[in-house]
Chains A and B, each alone.
Chain A
Amino acid sequence: GAVVSQHPSWVICKSGTSVKIECRSLDFQATTMFWYRQFPKQSLMLMATSNEGSKATYEQGVEKDKFLINHASLTLSTLTVTSAHPEDSSFYICSASRTGPSSYNSPLHFGNGTRLTVT
């Protein structure tokens, strides 16, 4: 079945540094991937839609210069949290679904998430 791999699973970084999170679709192509953020005891909030070969689409209130998204291939999207601050500490989850002629009714598959702690 379709699998989405996300790395790292957890990371601790110092305030002011940058952190890169990778999201890979392992056995399918994904023209579009989605990045979510989840604070403790809260729901998943869509941050941005990552589009292969073009600029990401950010949700209102999400700073595109702070959360850099690069979707360089049909199987890889990266999210870089730049100049991280303690308030960026959260659980970041990517998701993707199969795209292409055989993709109808394909559900979204989530990565395992990345727990970011900024000290």
Chain B
Amino acid sequence: GENVEQHPSTLSVQEGDSAVIKCTYSDSASNYFPWYKQELGKRPQLIIDIRSNVGEKKDQRIAVTLNKTAKHFSLHITETQPEDSAVYFCAASLPMNYGGSQGNLIFGKGTKLSVKP
């Protein structure tokens, strides 16, 4: 089955700096790679996602890159702010057989990001 590795487990940056979180996956058939932000006691919130037919996607200060050959994908946050502090999870998903919607997500272990003012 799919296995997702995520690094680092903790990351501390100064406000305004960039933060990069990296993930690798094992199953080359995985085709969907979302990133979630989870604040304490709350559900994960999707912040950005990328599909296997795209190499990079950007949404304001957040970007994700995907290298299918190497089977790794990364989250990039620029101009970090204290409110970016949270736990970030990457995930990988194999395609569902019916309807094209996503199958179950396999999550990385998470990265606790702390942005110091």
**Cβ-defined contact, B43 with A113, below 8 A:** yes
Tally B residues with Cβ within 8 Å of A: 24
- A9-32 vs B, CB cutoff 8 Å, 1 = contact: the mask equals 000000000000000000000011
A77 to B46, CA, bound (A): 22
Residues of B within 8 A of A113 (CB): 42-43
Which B89-112 residues have a C-beta within 8 angstroms of A? 89, 93, 96, 98-110
What residue of chain B has the Cβ atom nearest to residue A106's Cβ? B101
The number of inter-chain residue pairs (CB within 8 angstroms) is 67
A45 to B109, CA, bound (A): 9
A45 to B41, CA, bound (A): 16
Tally A residues with Cβ within 8 Å of B: 28
The minimal Cβ–Cβ distance linking A55 to chain B, given in whole angstroms, is: 16
- A104-119 vs B, CB cutoff 8 Å, 1 = contact: the mask equals 1111101111010000
Residues of B within 8 A of A54 (CB): none
Contact of B89 among A34, A43, A103, A104 (CB under 8 A): A43
Contact of A104 among B41, B43, B100 (CB under 8 A): B100
Q: Contact residues of A with B, CB < 8 Å?
A: 31-32, 34, 42-46, 49, 91, 93, 95, 97-101, 103-108, 110-113, 115
